[in-house]
């Protein structure tokens, strides 16, 4: 595979994540809000929240959104399969679900056969959990992405498979989910092996995370860097629940792991107890460190994306960016923003992870005692402002510095390297066809300008562009295509054209698909 083809594949993969990311953002916001408003600490401060009806509504929403979010990997599987498959996307999506469920079961079988299936009380400590009723490794988005990629591959590879007459019924598209199922079995047995090696490696290097000088920086770098693989939960569990996070003596009792000790200090003893002096060293691996990302870094990145968005596209970019920023700010869910540039600009994600580590090191000497494990604005208000001896103002000072650094680094990188982050595509000119939403007419003009149906191999779209593969680009009449109202037409590579329609692109894409199906 040449460099250009690889780049095209990565871009296509990045676009395939937009659908699950779009779901994560609003649902995550609701989940964050309901989670905060049902906490006992919040109810004590706001009397009307204690109303049984209000709590019933909030808890119901919390349960509904929680279930959806617990199954985000399944949404990733379907989104990636839909985006990556070149032909029958429906069978690809179906196969991705089958593949994901197969993956969960195969991993469960592996854990059972090897005696590694943990008890219910300890499974979270070793990166296991119950997913769709199956105890398995918590692969998170990585599991869904693997399933989606495999399903897309099997769809394109085996869609026209012909079998001997006795088995002919199972040929064609029916063979795709079966191929996905059988390919997933060895993959499912291989993943726990790789996962186990990573876990052992993290345990081996865990003393580095607890170093008094740079440990917290290494921890938060690794935590961010492992997000694409779903291994950040393993890292967090190792530090929170095992000896790797330290053994602490509090009131004559031994507490293993950071979280166990932190819960004792925060919820049982409180700021007036002598043990509170341990709080800053414990909490820097929990809420204090996370709040730097959710409350300061994510908004800074969002603002950089907005300011570098093309002028004509700022309106639609503003809504998308604001949603993913609020999802982190209110719900402690950073993945929608991170995944929005992770695959489009992986180098930028590495810089992001490194900065997260370096900019967390000052937590060592600022004596910030904001507890709990989440990083929302509500948790800052509850555990920062309402608790005594938290030195919350130091978090704001450090956060502002983080905001400035992340803003200027991202703004420079996006402009300097011309990265296609949210809003970095040209907007729309005023056009009668677009204004009147005559998408059928637009589709006819586009197809005719591209040399007719017979010259079009594949039609795809991203946030604002039609991306079309052609048989012969010499047959394209660019001026005719411009009559459709597009604000831009260009060839990023041979026999591949981009036609820009901004926020209307999905409607134009649907109309083009409908027009292509006509006889």
Band the pLDDT of 445: cuts 50, 70, 90.
Answer: very high
So where are the chain's domains? 3-211, 237-416, 432-517
Could you tell me the pLDDT band of residue 365, with boundaries at 50, 70 and 90? Answer: very high
β-partners of residue 488 are: 500
- The neighbour count for residue 285, using CB atoms within 10 Å, is 27
Q: 3-class secondary structure for 309-377? A: CCHHHHHHHHHHHHHHHHHHHHHCCCHHHHHHHHCCCHHHHHHHHHHHHHCCHHHHCCCCCCCCCCCCH
H or E stretch covering 468: strand 465-470
Q: Is a pLDDT exceeding 70 seen at residue 463?
A: no
Closest C-alpha among 416, 390, 438 to residue 286? 390
Average pLDDT of 407-415? 95
- DSSP for residue 257: S
Do the beta carbons of residue 481 and residue 499 sit within 8 Å? yes
Cross-strand pairs, 461: 466
Q: What confidence score (pLDDT) does residue 235 get?
A: 84
Q: Which of 359, 462, 499, 511 is catalytic?
A: 462
Q: Give the pLDDT score at 54.
A: 92
Selection from 474, 481, 371 nearest residue 433 by Cα: 481
- Cα separation of 26 and 3, whole Å? 36
Least confident of 350-354, 409-413, 487-491: 487-491
Alpha carbon distance 383, 508 (integer Å): 49
* Low-confidence winner among 251-255, 359-363, 400-404 (lowest mean pLDDT): 251-255
DSSP 37-85: HTSHHHHHHSGGGG-HHHHHHHHHHHHHHHHHHHTHHHHHHHHHHHHH-
Say if residues 396 and 361 touch (Cβ distance below 8 Å): no
pLDDT at 429: 47
* Of residues 222, 215, 226, 353, the one with CA closest to residue 281: 215
Asked if the model's pLDDT at residue 506 lies above 70, the reply is: yes
Q: Check whether 428 has a pLDDT greater than 50.
A: no
Is 356 a catalytic site residue?
no
**Letter string b/e over residues 443-460, b meaning 16 or more CB atoms within 10 A of that residue's CB:** bbbbbbbbbeeebbeebb
Decide: helix, strand or coil at residue 254.
Answer: strand
Segment 136-148 shows an average pLDDT of 86
Cα separation, 43 vs 50, in Å, equals 6
Q: What is the DSSP string of 84-96?
A: H-SS-HHHHHHHH
Q: Say whether 387 sits in a helix, a strand or coil.
A: coil
The residue with greater pLDDT, 436 or 347, is 347
Q: What is the structure's pLDDT at 361?
A: 97
- At residue 353, the pLDDT reads 96
For residue 298, which phi and psi values (nearest 5 degrees)?
-60, -45
Alpha-carbon distances, residue 22 vs 253, 330, 359, 421, 487 (angstroms):
46, 16, 29, 15, 25
Q: What radius of gyration do the chain's Cα atoms show?
A: 25
pLDDT at 29 > cutoff 70: no
pLDDT tens sequence across 270-308: 888 899 999 999 999 999 999 999 999 999 999 999 999
Distance (Å, rounded) from C-alpha 233 to C-alpha 198?
12
Q: Rounded to an integer, what distance in angstroms lies between the CA atom of residue 72 and that of residue 21?
A: 9
How far is residue 64's CA from residue 159's CA, in Å, rounded to a whole number? 36
472, 457 contact by CB (below 8 A) = no
Distance CA 485, CA 433 (A): 7
Q: What percent of the chain is modeled with pLDDT above 90? A: 38
Q: Where are the alpha helices (DSSP H) in 210-227?
A: 215-225
pLDDT band at 10; cut points 50, 70, 90 = low
As a whole number of angstroms, the distance between CA 17 and CA 70 comes to: 17
Kindly indicate whether the domain formed by 432-517 is annotated with CATH number 3.30.1360.60.
yes
Q: Mean of the pLDDT values across residues 37-48?
A: 76
Q: Write down the pLDDT at residue 427.
A: 46
Residue showing tokens 């394109």: 156
Q: Specify the higher pLDDT residue, 510 or 266.
A: 510
- Note the pTM of the prediction, 2 decimals: 0.65
Averaged pLDDT for residues 36-49: 76
φ, ψ of residue 148 in degrees (nearest 5): -65, -40
* Per-residue confidence (pLDDT) for residue 237, from 0 to 100: 78
- Residue 346 banded pLDDT, cuts 50, 70, 90: confident
Task: Give the DSSP per-residue string, 392-442.
Answer: HHHHHHHHHHHHHHHHHHHHHHHHHTT---TT-S------HHHHTT-HHHH
Among 426, 371, 363, smallest CA distance to 395 is for 363
Average confidence score pLDDT of the chain: 85
Nearest alpha-carbon partner for 332 in 279, 383, 258, 281:
383
In terms of C-beta density within 10 A (0-12 exposed, 13-18 middle, 19 or more buried), how is residue 441 classed? middle
């Amino acid at each position: 595979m040449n460099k250009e083809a690889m780049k095209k594949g990565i871009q296509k993969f990045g676009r395939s994540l937009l659908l699950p990311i779009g779901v994560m953002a609003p649902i995550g916001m609701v989940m964050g809000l309901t989670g905060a408003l049902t906490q006992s600490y919040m109810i004590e401060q706001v009397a009307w929240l204690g109303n049984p009806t209000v709590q019933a509504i909030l808890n119901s929403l919390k349960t509904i959104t929680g279930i959806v979010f617990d199954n985000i990997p399944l949404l990733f599987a379907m989104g990636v399969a839909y985006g990556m498959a070149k032909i029958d996307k429906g069978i690809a999506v179906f196969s991705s679900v089958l593949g994901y469920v197969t993956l969960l079961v195969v991993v469960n079988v592996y854990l059972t056969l090897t005696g590694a299936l943990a008890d219910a009380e300890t499974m979270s400590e070793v990166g296991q959990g119950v997913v769709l009723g199956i105890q398995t490794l918590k692969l998170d988005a990585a599991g869904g992405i693997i399933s989606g990629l495999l399903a897309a591959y099997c769809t394109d590879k085996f869609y026209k498979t012909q079998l001997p007459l006795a088995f002919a019924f199972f040929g064609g598209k029916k063979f795709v989910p079966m191929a996905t199922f059988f390919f997933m079995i060895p993959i499912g047995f291989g993943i726990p092996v790789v996962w186990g090696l990573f876990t052992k490696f993290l345990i081996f290097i865990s003393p580095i995370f607890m170093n008094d000088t740079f440990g917290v920086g290494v921890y938060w770098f690794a935590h961010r860097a492992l997000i694409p693989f779903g291994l950040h939960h393993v890292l967090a569990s190792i530090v929170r629940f095992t000896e790797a996070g330290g053994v602490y003596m509090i009131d004559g009792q031994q507490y293993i792991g950071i979280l166990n000790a932190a819960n004792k200090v925060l919820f049982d003893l409180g700021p007036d107890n002598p043990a509170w002096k341990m709080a800053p060293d414990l909490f820097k691996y929990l809420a204090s460190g996370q709040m730097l990302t959710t409350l300061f870094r994510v908004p800074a990145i969002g603002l950089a994306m907005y300011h570098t968005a093309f002028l004509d596209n700022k309106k639609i970019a503003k809504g998308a960016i604001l949603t993913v920023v609020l999802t982190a700010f209110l719900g402690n869910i950073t993945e929608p923003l991170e995944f929005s540039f992770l695959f489009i600009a992986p180098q930028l994600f590495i810089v992001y992870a490194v900065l997260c580590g370096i900019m967390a090191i000052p937590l060592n000497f600022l004596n910030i005692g904001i507890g709990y494990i989440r990083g929302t604005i509500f948790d800052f208000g509850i555990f920062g402002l309402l608790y005594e001896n938290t030195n919350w103002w130091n978090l704001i000072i450090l956060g502002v510095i983080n905001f400035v650094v992340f803003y200027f680094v991202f703004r420079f990188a996006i402009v300097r390297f011309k990265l296609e982050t949210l809003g970095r595509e040209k907007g729309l000119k005023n056009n009668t066809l677009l204004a009147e939403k005559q998408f059928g007419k637009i589709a006819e003009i586009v197809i005719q300008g591209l040399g007719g149906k017979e010259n079009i191999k594949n039609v795809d779209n991203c946030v604002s562009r039609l991306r079309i593969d052609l048989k012969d680009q010499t047959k394209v009449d660019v001026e005719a295509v411009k009559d459709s109202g597009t604000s831009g037409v260009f060839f990023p590579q041979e026999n591949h054209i981009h036609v820009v329609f901004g926020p209307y692109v999905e409607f134009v894409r649907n109309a083009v698909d409908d027009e292509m199906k006509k006889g």
